[in-house]
Amino acid sequence: MKLRSNNTGTFTKQDSVTFDTSLWAATNGTIDWSQYPLQIPYTEADVYHTQLTHTAGTNKDIGWTVRIGKGGHIYYIDIQGLGQVICPNRSFAPWNDDCMTTTVYSADVVNNDAEMRVGNDSFANGYIHGSGMYIKPQMDSLNNKPFYNPILGEKFNSGDKSYTIINWGLVPKPNINRGDVLFYSRYRDIGNGVLEITFYCYNFGSRNYNFAEIPWFAVRSSKFPNMVEGISGTSSFKTNNKTFGSGAISSAGGWGAFTVDPTNMNSISCGLTWGTNTPAMGINFGFVDRGVRDMTLIAPSKSAISMPYGTGIRYRRYVVFGKLENVSDICSKLNQHAFFETIEFPETNSGRMLIYRSTLNGQTVLTTNTNGSPVARTFPIPVKNSLPLMLMKNNDNGNYFLSTDPYAVCGKKPFTNPYPLGHAKYNTYQNRHVYQIYDGKTTWVELLGFVLPLDNSRLSSGFQKLSDVLTNINFIAGEKLSANQLMIYV
């Protein structure tokens, strides 16, 4: 059920802001780049994409500002009367780790053998990160600066007071594993200090994902020196200033909050409602580091899920800003509206999106931008077993092309098989390569919707081979299906 905004205050989007470098030094001091000779220095401008601001409209309301990174994640939260509360971040993970983000994990492809590692980093990682990649030049010299999940689409809706962004999710370290998932993030202002977050992840690859952090939400201990947890989904709560390493808390409370002073109901606080409707959910909770990392965490997670090819997960959370009294009351009222689900969309749930033939820098392409008569239609949502059709650009030669493989023209660094011939794992790691999506060779221009693998029996029912629509349009299959193995609605 969709909650209506109570229309208190205003909700605006700012594409240009002023950065405060003092907020972001990796260790709460100034970064000495001479200590990181393999990295290219970065600033907040490298991550910033847009800013969303709620201006208070009533005496119970509170102003807040969030900044959305290029990866689609929230890396900055400013609360009226308290300031910016997200952690300062570490030098190898600028604005993509200790913030608010989602990850999904597959145990199917993980290999932490010593032969596969550089230090503690494996070339066979199982995570897909909801913000971007770490900086790991020791694994690949090209991975020496921030790189965030490419943006495939976005929309600001002033009437709905929402902002939606679509990103391609990446493995966070140089890897031989692919990241064939899409992340949809919708941030909606529903008034009285409430930011509604709806997240959806779609799997268009061969891996099965079995764990998700929904979401990882880290703030500064120096801003919020105390924590409280809700009791049985009510507005009652108890102080719980536990350390993160001492274990998770029960999900049955439905919500938790960071607060300045748990004994003062007027204390500025920030709550997260995860709801009591999801069974077998764990809640990582506690103080990670009150010192250099300055980090406190609330992170709901769900294990034992099954998200194979063609399916996804969806969840809704509520972040509540304000005085502790209001935060506890609102969090409990929102309890019933938070959810988590595995989901697949049948074709009957989807309309059709018009696709047009156009030119871009003198080249013929397909686009969603209106241009004369449409030539085809795609599914605007990822129906079961569909693949994302993307307009991309090869930056080396300037050529635009279509593909269902976002890795189609990125570099591929040969991976040396660490196992000898005859070893049980030799065949698994023979003829593999590291995907270098951070090499600057690709621009991901636009998501054109979703298409289906070819089913010849359906060609007479409105579908046509994609290859028949692509007259004078370049298509690169990469490691996915070719254009004559896909079909599009016409």
Encode pLDDT of 106-118 as tens digits.
999 999 999 999 9
At residue 90, the pLDDT reads: 86
pLDDT band at 30 (very low <50, low <70, confident <90, very high): low
Lowest mean pLDDT among 31-35, 172-176, 390-394: 31-35
Question: By 3-state DSSP, what share of the chain in percent is helix, strand and coil, each rounded to 5?
Answer: 10, 45, 45
More confident site: 131 or 25:
131
pLDDT of residue 1: 58
**Residue 5 in domain:** no
* Domain co-membership, 201 together with 306: yes
* Interval 310-338 mean pLDDT: 97
The verdict on residue 318 lying in a domain is yes
Q: Degrees (nearest 5) of the Cα angle 78, 298, 119?
A: 100
Range of the domain at 155: 10-343
Q: How many CA atoms lie within 13 A of 304 on its CB side?
A: 5
Convert the pLDDT of each residue in 246-295 to its tens digit: 999 999 999 999 999 999 999 999 999 999 999 889 999 999 999 989 99
Residue that is last in its domain, among 286, 318, 343: 343
Structure confidence at residue 26 (pLDDT): 52
Of 215, 355, 349, 186, give the one whose Cα is nearest residue 274: 215
pLDDT band at 157; cut points 50, 70, 90? very high
Question: 354 pLDDT exceeds 80?
Answer: yes
Q: Is residue 245 in some structural domain? A: yes
Tokens 């030539």 label which residue?
Answer: 375
Would you say the C-alpha torsion 136, 140, 142, 148 has a positive or negative sign? negative
Q: Is 4 a member of any domain?
A: no
* Residues 298 and 381 both lie in one domain: no
Q: For residue 226, what are its two tokens?
A: 């105390």
pTM, two decimals, is: 0.97
**How buried is 306 (Cβ within 10 angstroms: 0-12 exposed, 13-18 middle, 19+ buried)?**
exposed
Question: What pLDDT was estimated at residue 280?
Answer: 87
234 with 355, same domain: the answer is no
The pLDDT of 158-185, averaged and rounded, is 97
Q: Is 212's pLDDT higher than 70?
A: yes
Q: Contact, 45 vs 109, CB < 8 A?
A: no
Spatial CA neighbour of 69 closest among 52, 49, 93: 49
Whether residue 27 is predicted with pLDDT greater than 50 in this model: the reply is no
Same domain, 104 and 43: yes
Q: Where residue 267 sits, what CATH number does that domain have?
A: 2.70.98
Q: How confident is the model over 377-412, as pLDDT tens digits?
A: 999 999 999 999 999 999 999 999 999 999 999 999
Please tell me the distance from the alpha carbon of residue 85 to that of residue 95, in angstroms, as a whole number. Answer: 13
353 with 339, same domain: the answer is no
- The average pLDDT across 79-98 equals 93
Residue 58's Cβ-count burial label (10 Å; 0-12, 13-18, 19+) is exposed
- What mean pLDDT value characterizes the chain? 95
Counting the structural domains of the chain, the total is 2
Same domain, yes or no: 19 and 109:
yes
Lowest mean pLDDT of 50-64, 71-85, 378-392, name the range.
50-64
pLDDT surpassing 60 at residue 29: no
Q: Are 163 and 50 in contact (CB under 8 A)?
A: yes
